């Protein structure tokens, strides 16, 4: 309390100084205030800067109330960031080998990565991550799992938030790219990944002249088994779609639970060929004034799948387009113009769609959609899918400006839309049941806050759940131009933290965070106290792959040993500050080596590394963890292995020799 009073006093003084106020009586905490005021003056900080500093500065040892899970873009990874400090806490390895986590350099990560190789086993060792999706219970983040898609190869990854490790990567059969995912249904029954660029089912060869007959979109409903922490392909299904480019999806919740919504572009079915004198894709796909919002009844689709109405294609159950259209799984509603994003309101009543080339966001009413479906008599598109007229489904349109993309929500009945072309965050009021939460009339623009520059996605604290928090919005800007020191022609992206605590025209820019790796797309921001990760692995010999003790693991140093059967050599190695045991291992060239490591540590943060020079091996051995590597000793000679984490004063001495006899 006393500290707070001093801080407030200090702030008042700083503000006066910064705003040019003179000669005010010096408060009691003189040293503090005059120093701080001098810093503000020297650094030319104005009152807004000081407010922003106080909102974001996080003293050493103080923890952030929110954790942001951000896509790592074409790095293939996920970024874990504290909010509001915007400190990066971890780059989490997902689709791309990451040596510091021992991921893909001999250890368990190799099997996870191999799960995402092509059907012919061709390795894919990166990903284009777009949309992280936290697991949900009753439409709220539950802090258990994180999913993220790889747009480039139609894959999805499962991350367990008990140890923040990737447990599964799975390639969607029949699809070669994806985009509209990963999104979960309100109880994480399914992890949904929608398509992007159409291709023949199974991405078989077909000339582009056969686009309408052969090319298709395909949306995947991956069944998630929460107890196993894995996607179960046998319980999963896909739905065949027209070759419109389905874009971004969101699951309905509460009143719209059981439904999924995806926007699309290219209902023109343009096939490009600028080099042949055809209009380029950018022109061909933007001719129509409207495209189609796809409205899926996934509970109905699940029923059809379970009732045997799906066809097996490349081992995956696919509900064919005709079945989906005839059985009421799929409906369309027109959406203007070059739409982007489909974001369901917290109560599930509305779906908000941006229009890259339309100054409005269009708000669809779930109730109106249901009424139109019930009334029937709908006309059909070229593929037999019933089309609900726009005026029968629309609740409102709000004119926001140029390039509205994505929308998130707060606790005050406001929506926040990213404005790509305007480079702004638009705050606008929701109507309907939300109108009573804010002082303004519903469906109205309230404020446009300039951001720097070209915002893509936008994330809000719990902003896409059934009960958003308010407080913070993060603008995920694609360009940074002049915000940071020039470090050459490849620039970082820029995350900008925005204060949304108060109502009305009060949004304030607080902080810039350069992203020094790749281009994040979406991010989700969760209350930090929902996470309950391990501090150390629960028991010695814990295998992160099975999330259980490996029965083959040793638990004491005495059990460390080397065994040979023919030319198979098996090594059990213990790891504890500050030595490996054994420290000398002699084998023969050509031996097949199986090497188990067990950390005997119980102390938090006492992580060891293990690298074997010349063999492309590097592990991260966290307290209690066990891991196994296998390789053929195909190079004779003297090789050192050592610990790659500075674990103790005698870390340099944590070393051993592998002698490989010719």
Residues that bind ligand RUQ in the complex, under the rule CB under 6 A: 130-131, 179, 248, 340, 405-406, 456-457, 521-522
Among 40, 318, 321, 654, binds ligand CUA (CB under 6 A): 654
131 versus 216: smaller Cβ distance to ligand RUQ: 131
* 600 near ligand CUA, judged by CB under 6 A: no
Residue 554 binds which entry of ligand RUQ, ligand CUA, none, with Cβ cut-offs from 5 to 8 Å by kind? none
Other Cβ atoms less than 10 A from the Cβ of 40: the count is: 20
* 573 near ligand CUA, judged by CB under 6 A: no
DSSP reduced 3-state for 58: coil
Residue 57 binds which entry of ligand CUA, ligand RUQ, none, with Cβ cut-offs from 5 to 8 Å by kind? none
Which run of H or of E encompasses 283? helix 281-284
- CB-side neighbour CA atoms (13 Å) of 638: 3
Token readout for 512 is 């810039």
Please report the sign of the dihedral spanned by the C-alpha atoms of residue 208, residue 210, residue 214, residue 218. positive
**CA distances in angstroms from 577 to 538, 562, 643, 651, listed in the order given:** 19, 21, 10, 8
Nearest to 179 by CA among 155, 208, 215: 155
DSSP 461-523: BTTTSSS---SEEEEEES--TTSS----SSPPEEEEEEE--SSSS--EEEEEEEE-SS----E
* 199 near ligand CUA, judged by CB under 6 A: no
130 versus 294: smaller Cβ distance to ligand RUQ: 130
Q: How far is the CB of 578 from ligand CUA (least distance, A)?
A: 6
Among 645, 656, 658, 660, binds ligand CUA (CB under 6 A): 645
494 versus 611: smaller Cβ distance to ligand RUQ: 494
Among 181, 608, 625, 633, binds ligand CUA (CB under 6 A): 608
What is the rounded distance in angstroms from the CA atom of residue 646 to the CA atom of residue 193? 41
**From start to end of 207-315, where are the E strands?**
215-225, 230-231, 237-241, 245-251, 259-265, 290-297, 311-313
Residue 608 binds which entry of ligand RUQ, ligand CUA, none, with Cβ cut-offs from 5 to 8 Å by kind? ligand CUA
113 versus 218: smaller Cβ distance to ligand RUQ: 218
Q: How far is the CB of 164 from ligand CUA (least distance, A)?
A: 21
Residue 148 binds which entry of ligand RUQ, ligand CUA, none, with Cβ cut-offs from 5 to 8 Å by kind? none
* 602 near ligand CUA, judged by CB under 6 A: no
Which residues lie closer than 8 Å to 389 by C-beta, 6 or more apart? Answer: 333, 334, 372
81 versus 643: smaller Cβ distance to ligand RUQ: 81
Among 353, 415, 460, 643, binds ligand CUA (CB under 6 A): 643
Binding segment toward ligand CUA, per CB under 6 A, in 41-49, 287-295, 356-364, 647-655: 647-655
**CA distances in angstroms from 417 to 340, 355, 464, 466, listed in the order given:** 11, 11, 12, 18
DSSP reduced 3-state for 53: helix
57 versus 657: smaller Cβ distance to ligand CUA: 657
Residue 405 binds which entry of ligand CUA, ligand RUQ, none, with Cβ cut-offs from 5 to 8 Å by kind? ligand RUQ
What is the rounded distance in angstroms from the CA atom of residue 156 to the CA atom of residue 240? 19
Q: How far is the CB of 596 from ligand CUA (least distance, A)?
A: 17
Among 29, 378, 651, 655, binds ligand CUA (CB under 6 A): 651
Cβ–Cβ under 8 Å, residues 9 and 29: yes
Q: How far is the CB of 654 from ligand CUA (least distance, A)?
A: 4
Cβ–Cβ under 8 Å, residues 189 and 224: yes
Residue 521 binds which entry of ligand CUA, ligand RUQ, none, with Cβ cut-offs from 5 to 8 Å by kind? ligand RUQ
* 99 near ligand CUA, judged by CB under 6 A: no
286 versus 620: smaller Cβ distance to ligand RUQ: 286
* 314 near ligand CUA, judged by CB under 6 A: no
Which run of H or of E encompasses 424? strand 424-429
Residues of the shown chain interacting with ligand CUA in the complex, contacts defined by CB under 6 A: 578, 608, 643, 645-647, 651, 654
């Amino acid at each position: 309390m006393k500290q707070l009073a001093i801080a407030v006093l200090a702030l008042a003084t700083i503000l006066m100084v910064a705003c040019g106020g003179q000669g005010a009586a010096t408060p009691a905490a003189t040293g503090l205030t005059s120093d701080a005021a001098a810093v503000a003056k020297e650094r030319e900080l104005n009152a807004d800067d000081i407010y922003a500093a106080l909102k974001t500065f996080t003293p050493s040892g103080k923890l952030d109330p929110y954790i942001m899970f951000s896509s790592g873009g074409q790095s293939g990874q996920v970024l874990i960031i504290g909010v509001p400090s915007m400190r990066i806490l971890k780059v989490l390895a997902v689709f791309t080998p990451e040596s510091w986590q021992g991921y893909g350099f001999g250890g368990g990560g190799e099997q996870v990565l191999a799960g995402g190789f092509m059907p012919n086993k061709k390795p894919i060792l990166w990903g284009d991550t777009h949309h992280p999706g936290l697991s949900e219970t009753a439409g709220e983040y539950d802090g258990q799992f994180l999913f993220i898609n790889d747009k480039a190869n139609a894959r999805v990854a499962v991350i367990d938030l008990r140890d923040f490790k990737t447990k599964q990567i799975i390639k969607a059969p029949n699809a070669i790219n994806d985009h509209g995912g990963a999104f979960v249904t309100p109880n994480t029954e399914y992890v949904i990944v929608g398509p992007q660029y159409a291709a023949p089912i199974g991405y078989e060869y077909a000339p582009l002249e056969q686009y309408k007959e052969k090319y298709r979109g395909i949306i995947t409903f991956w069944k998630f088994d929460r107890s196993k922490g894995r996607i179960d392909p046998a319980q999963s299904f896909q739905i065949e779609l027209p070759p419109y480019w389905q874009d971004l999806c969101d699951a309905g919740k509460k009143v719209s639970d059981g439904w999924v919504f995806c926007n699309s572009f290219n209902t023109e079915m343009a096939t490009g060929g600028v080099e042949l004198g055809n209009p380029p894709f950018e022109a061909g796909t933007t001719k129509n004034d409207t495209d189609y919002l796809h409205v899926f009844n996934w509970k109905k689709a699940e029923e059809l799948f379970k009732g045997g109405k799906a066809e097996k294609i490349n081992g995956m159950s696919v509900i064919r387009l005709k079945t989906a259209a005839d059985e009421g799984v799929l409906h369309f509603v027109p959406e203007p113009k070059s739409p982007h994003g489909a974001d369901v309101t917290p109560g599930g009543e509305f779906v908000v769609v941006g229009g890259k080339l339309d100054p409005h966001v269009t708000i669809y009413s779930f109730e109106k959609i249901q009424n139109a479906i019930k009334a029937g008599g709908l006309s059909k598109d070229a593929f037999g899918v019933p089309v609900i007229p726009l005026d029968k489904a629309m609740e409102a349109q709000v004119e926001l400006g140029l390039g509205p993309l994505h929308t998130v929500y707060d606790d005050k009945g406001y929506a926040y839309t990213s404005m790509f072309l305007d480079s702004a965050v638009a705050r606008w009021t929701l109507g309907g049941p939300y109108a009573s939460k804010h002082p303004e009339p519903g469906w109205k623009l309230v404020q446009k806050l300039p951001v720097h520059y070209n915002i893509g996605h936008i994330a809000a604290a719990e902003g896409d759940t059934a009960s958003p928090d308010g407080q913070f919005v993060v603008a995920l800007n694609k360009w940074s131009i002049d915000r940071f020191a020039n470090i050459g022609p490849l620039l970082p992206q820029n995350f900008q933290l925005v204060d949304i605590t108060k109502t009305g025209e009060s949004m304030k820019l607080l902080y810039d965070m350069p992203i020094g790796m790749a281009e994040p797309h979406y991010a989700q921001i969760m209350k930090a106290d929902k996470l309950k990760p391990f501090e150390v692995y629960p028991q010695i010999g814990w295998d992160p792959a099975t999330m259980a003790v490996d029965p083959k693991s040793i638990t004491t140093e005495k059990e460390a040993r080397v065994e040979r059967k023919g030319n198979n050599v098996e090594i059990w190695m213990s790891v504890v500050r500050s030595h490996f045991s054994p420290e000398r291992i002699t084998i023969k060239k050509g031996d097949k080596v199986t090497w188990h490591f067990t950390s005997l540590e119980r102390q938090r943060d006492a992580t060891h590394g293990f690298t074997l020079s010349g063999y492309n091996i590097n592990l991260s051995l966290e307290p209690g963890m066990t891991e196994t590597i296998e390789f053929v000793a195909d190079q004779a000679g003297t090789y050192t292995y050592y610990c790659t984490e500075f674990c103790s004063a005698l870390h340099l001495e944590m070393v051993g020799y592998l002698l490989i006899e010719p």
